[in-house]
């Protein structure tokens, strides 16, 4: 199968056409319209077999997750997803594998009204997937990492540490009931959009809560206090011994929940409109650095999130 046959067979009509697309797959470039008073938000993630996912991961899960992690980045800016570009490097042209991979891509795309508008395919020694995601946000309303104010609450959007525990089970040869948390993360796109005008800064949790919160602190020139017992987690994570529990929660990564800062007034207003969607775990402070407390006792846990090199 040639490159163009591969694209036409598995990807050309795999996602629904978006109203902003003038020209999609089939030409040298895609062409899109952008409305007035709108800004384009773009991001890219690369996933490599054996580095970002296990070799035995299903083709469907690889396709799904390669898109989901990018939509999570858009969610962290409060953006509305629009389209993706897909770069696919394959060790071999396996039609059955490609069919399942394309289904994973199309399922997550169609769920969020995202169109696959282009990309590239090539042969490679290692399976590598690069996705560029595009989204829109009203002019001046993107939620950035910088912007946390002293006194702001620190919040997360859901359970932390589940995907890390699932990976630990897999790497140690254990059966796990948490596979979907690792393979099929659900980007918090809707919540990210709702937080526009409320959150002062935001990031998605991909490399570990401690490390990703650190990016917010660095960008804002502030510090933080975290109350570990307030961090929501799955029952299986909660049942772990203290050290293991908080290694998964603080350093595990792959959660793709949102971590953000918000004033107390905005927290109360948001919570009144959208109850039980955000969870307070700490506070922004003037004192630099990240201080960890558990039931009013200061604790020392090294922050060592995911390293890309």
Give the pLDDT score at 306.
Answer: 56
Give the pLDDT score at 51.
Answer: 84
Tokens encoding 131? 């996705």
Give the pLDDT score at 11.
Answer: 75
DSSP string, 222-287: -EEEEEGGGS---HHHHTS-HHHHHHHHHH------EEEEE-HHHHHHHHHHSTTS-EEEEEEESS
pLDDT tens, position by position, 128-166: 999 999 999 999 999 999 999 999 999 999 999 999 999
Interatomic CA distance for residues 170 and 172, integer angstroms: 5
Interatomic CA distance for residues 91 and 50, integer angstroms: 13
> Which has more confidence, 11 or 301?
301
Mean pLDDT, the chain, whole residue set: 93
pLDDT tens, position by position, 211-235: 999 999 999 999 999 999 999 999 9
- With a pLDDT cut of 70, the percent of the chain lying above it is 97
| Whether pLDDT at 122 is above 60 | yes
- With a pLDDT cut of 90, the percent of the chain lying above it is 82
- As to burial, measured by CB atoms within 10 angstroms (0-12 exposed, 13-18 middle, 19+ buried), residue 200 is buried
Interatomic CA distance for residues 71 and 73, integer angstroms: 5
Give the pLDDT score at 18.
Answer: 85
Using DSSP bridges, classify how beta strands 199-204 and 279-285 pair: parallel, antiparallel or unpaired: unpaired
Using only C-alpha atoms, the chain has a radius of gyration, in whole angstroms, of: 20
Question: In Å, how far from its chain's centre is CA 36?
Answer: 28
pLDDT tens, position by position, 171-188: 899 999 999 999 999 999
| Whether pLDDT at 29 is above 90 | no
Q: What is the pTM of this model?
A: 0.92
Of the given ranges (29-38, 241-250, 287-296), which has the lowest mean pLDDT? Answer: 29-38
pLDDT tens, position by position, 73-115: 999 999 999 999 999 999 998 899 999 999 999 999 999 999 9
The mean per-residue pLDDT over the stretch 186-207 comes to 97
Tokens 């953000």, located at residue: 260
pLDDT tens, position by position, 228-257: 999 999 999 999 999 999 999 999 999 999
Interatomic CA distance for residues 192 and 194, integer angstroms: 5
């Amino acid at each position: 199968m040639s490159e163009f046959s591969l694209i036409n067979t598995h990807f050309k009509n795999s996602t629904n056409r978006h109203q902003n697309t003038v020209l999609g797959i089939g030409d040298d470039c895609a062409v899109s319209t952008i409305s007035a008073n709108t800004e384009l938000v773009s991001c890219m993630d690369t996933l490599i077999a054996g580095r970002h996912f296990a070799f035995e991961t299903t083709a469907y899960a690889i396709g799904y997750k390669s898109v989901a992690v990018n939509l999570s980045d858009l969610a962290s800016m409060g953006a509305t997803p629009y389209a993706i570009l897909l770069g696919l490097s394959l060790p071999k042209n396996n039609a059955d594998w490609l069919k399942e991979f394309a289904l994973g891509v199309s399922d997550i795309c169609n769920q969020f009204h995202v169109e696959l508008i282009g990309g590239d395919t090539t042969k490679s020694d290692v399976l590598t997937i690069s996705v560029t995601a595009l989204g829109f946000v009203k002019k001046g309303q993107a939620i950035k990492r910088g912007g946390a104010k002293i006194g702001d609450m620190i919040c997360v959007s859901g359970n932390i540490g589940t995907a890390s525990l699932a990976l630990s089970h897999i790497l140690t040869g254990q059966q796990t009931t948490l596979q979907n948390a690792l393979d099929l993360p659900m980007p918090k796109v809707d919540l990210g959009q709702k937080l526009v005008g409320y959150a002062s800064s935001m990031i998605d949790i991909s490399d570990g809560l401690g490390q990703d919160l650190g990016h917010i602190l660095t960008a804002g020139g502030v510090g933080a206090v975290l109350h570990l017992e307030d961090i929501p987690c799955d029952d299986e994570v909660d049942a772990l011994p203290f050290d293991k529990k908080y290694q998964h929660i603080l350093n595990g990564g792959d959660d793709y929940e949102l971590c953000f800062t918000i004033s107390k007034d905005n927290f109360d207003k948001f919570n009144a409109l959208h109850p039980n969607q955000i969870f307070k775990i700490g506070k922004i402070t003037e004192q630099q650095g990240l201080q960890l407390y558990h039931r009013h006792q200061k604790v020392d846990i090294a922050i060592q999130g995911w390293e890309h090199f």
